[in-house]
Structure 1
Amino acid sequence: MKTPVFAIDVGYGNTKYAYRTASGAIATGIFPSLTPLAASRTLSAYGESVFSARKVAKIMVENIEYEVGPDVPITAAYGRTGRALTDDYVSTDNYAALLFGAVHFAGVTHIERLVLGLSVHNMERYSAELKRQFVGEFDFGHGRVVVEKVVVIPQPLGSLVLAASARGGDFGRDDSHLLVDVGYYTTDWIYANGFKMDDNRSGGIPGGASQVCQRIAKLISRDEGEQVDDIERIDKSLRERAPFYFYGRTIDLAPYVERAAPVMTGVAIEMQNDVGRLHDIRSIILSGGGAALYGPAIRRAFPRAVIERIDSPCLANARGFLIVGEAGLARERGAA
Structure 2
Amino acid sequence: MGLFPERLYQTARIEQVQHTTVFMSKTPPTFRALDLGFGFTKFSKGHYLQDGSLEVSAFPSYAAAAVNFSIGAGVMTDLSIVKVSVDDEHFLVGEDVRNAADGVGRQMLESTFFTSSQYIALARGAMGFMNVPNHGEVDSLVMGLPLNIFRDQSIVDHVEAAMKGTHLVPDITKNSGVERTILVKNVSIIPQVVGSLVAMSRDAGLMQKVNEQHNLTIDVGYGTLLWLVSDGFTPVPARSNGNMGGVSSLLQKIIRSIDPSAVSSINIMDRLDKALLEDKASILINGAEVEVAKYHRQLASAARENLTEMIRSIGTKADIDNVFLTGGGAHLYKDAIAAVFPGRQVHIASKGSRFTNVRGFQFLAETED
TM interval, short-chain normalised? 0.7 to 0.9
Distance 1:147 1:264 in 2: 39
Q: CA deviation at 1:19?
A: 4.3
Distance 2:69 2:183 in 1: 31
Equivalent of 2:219 in 174, 181, 185: 181
The equivalent position to 1:163 in structure 2, one of 188, 200, 218, is 200
| Secondary structure of the structure 2 residue equivalent to 1:73 | helix
**Alpha-carbon separation, structure 1, partners of 2:304 and 2:99:** 28
SS at match of 1:117: strand
1:26 has 2:54 as partner: yes
Gaps of 5+ in 1: 332-336
What CA distance in whole angstroms lies between the structure 2 residues aligned with 1:23 and 1:300? 38
Whether 1:154 and 2:180 are equivalent positions in the alignment is no
Q: How does 1:96-111 map to 2 (within 5 A)?
A: 96-108=120-132, 109-111=136-138
Q: Which amino acid aligns with 2:341?
A: F
Q: Does residue 11 in structure 1 map to residue 37 in structure 2?
A: yes
1:253 to 283, 292, 296: 292
Q: Which residue of the partner structure matches residue 57 of structure 1?
A: 82
1:210 aligns with 2:236: no
Q: 1:303 to 1:190 in 2, by over 3 A?
A: same
What residue in structure 2 maps to residue 244 of structure 1?
283
Paired residue for 1:220? Answer: 258
Contact in 1 for aligned 2:120/2:162 (Cα 8 Å): no
The alpha carbon displacement at 1:251 in A equals: 1.1
CA offset digits 1:47-67 (Å, max 9, x no partner): 58xxx8221111111222211
Q: Which moved more, 1:105-114 or 1:175-184?
A: 105-114
1:111 touches 1:148 (CA, 8 Å); kept in 2?
yes
CA contact (8 A) 1:182 1:290 kept: yes
- Which residue is 2:315 aligned to? 276
- Distance of aligned partners of 1:78 and 1:256 in 2 relative to their CA distance in 1, 3 Å threshold: farther
CA–CA distance in structure 1, aligned partners of residues 250 and 272 of structure 2? 9
Matched, 1:139 2:168: yes
CA–CA distance in structure 2, aligned partners of residues 238 and 75 of structure 1: 24
C-alpha displacement at 1:197, in angstroms? Answer: 1.3
For residues 145-171 of structure 1, give each alpha carbon's deviation from its aligned partner in whole angstroms, at most 9, with x where no partner exists: 101011000111001000122133664
Shift of 1:204: 1.0
RMSD of aligned Cα (Å): 2.4
Q: Tell me, yes or no, if the aligned pair for 1:7 and 1:318 is still in contact at 8 Å.
A: yes
- Consecutive unaligned residues of structure 2, counting only runs of 5 or more, are 1-26, 171-178
- Aligned residue for 1:325, secondary structure, equals helix
- Whether contact under 8 Å (1:278, 1:305) holds in the other structure is no
2: CA distance, partners of 1:43 / 1:168: 46
Percent identical residues: 28
Moved more, 161-170 or 137-146: 161-170
Out of 245-254 and 311-320, give the one that drifted further.
Answer: 245-254
Question: Counterpart of 1:114?
Answer: 141
Superposed CA offset, 1:144-202 (max 9, x none): 11010110001110010001221336641212221000111111111122212111211
Q: Which of residues 343, 354, 357 in structure 2 aligns to 1:304?
A: 343
- Give the match's secondary structure for 2:32: strand
Query: Does the 8 Å CA contact 2:32/2:47 hold for their aligned counterparts?
Result: no
* Distance (Å, rounded) in 1 between the aligned partners of 2:151 and 2:319: 28
The AA in structure 1 aligned to 2:65 is L
SS across alignment from 1:256: helix
Mapped contact 1:7–1:322 kept (Cα < 8 A): yes
Give the Cα separation in 2 of the matches to 1:258 and 1:89: 31
The Cα shift of 1:327 comes to 1.5
Please tell me the residue identity of whatever aligns with 1:60: S
For residue 2 of structure 1, report the CA deviation from its aligned partner: 7.9
Q: Report matched runs for 1:72-83 at 5 Å.
A: 72-73=97-98, 78-81=103-106, 83=107
The Cα shift of 1:76 comes to 5.3
Correspondence for 1:334: none
Using the TM superposition, give the Cα deviation of residue 279 of structure 1 relative to its aligned residue in structure 2, in angstroms.
Answer: 2.2
Give SS of 2:151's match. helix
Contact kept in structure 2, 1:75 and 1:233, CA below 8 Å: no
- TM (norm. structure 1) is 0.87
Indicate the larger mover: 170-179 or 197-206.
170-179
Give the letter aligned to residue 244 of structure 1: I
Please tell me whether the aligned partners of residues 5 and 20 of structure 1 are also in contact (alpha carbons under 8 angstroms): yes
Distance 1:237 1:197 in 2: 35
Q: Deviation string for 1:10-65 (max 9, x for gaps)? A: 011111101434955521111111111125245974358xxx82211111112222
Residues 281-328 of structure 1 deviation map (CA, whole Å, 9 limit, x = unaligned)? 232110101111122222233333321101221000011011111122
User: Which residue identity is paired with 2:359?
Assistant: R
For 1:9 and 1:55, how far apart are their aligned partners in 2?
20
After superposition, the Cα gap between the structure-2 partners of 1:57 and 1:22, relative to the gap in structure 1 and judged at 3 Å, is same
- SS of the residue corresponding to residue 98 of structure 2 reads coil
